[in-house]
Amino acid sequence: MPSVSDRPVKRSIRRNELREIVPLADSTIYEMEQRGEFPRRFALSPRCVVWDLAEVEAWLESRRTRPIPRAKHPDVAQRKFRPVKGQGRAQA
Interval 28-45: pLDDT, tens: 999 999 999 999 999 999
Range list of β-strands (E), the chain = 12-13, 42-45, 48-52
Q: Which of 42, 39, 45, 43 is nearest to 24 (CA)?
A: 39
Contact (CB, 8 A) for 49 and 43: yes
Tell me the three state secondary structure of residue 19: helix
- pLDDT tens track of the chain, all 92 residues? 555 556 666 899 999 999 999 999 999 999 999 999 999 999 999 999 999 999 999 999 999 888 778 888 888 777 777 766 665 555 54
Q: What is the pLDDT of residue 76?
A: 77
**Domain spans of the chain?**
10-67
76 vs 30, 73, 79, 83, 87, CA distance in Å?
30, 9, 5, 7, 13
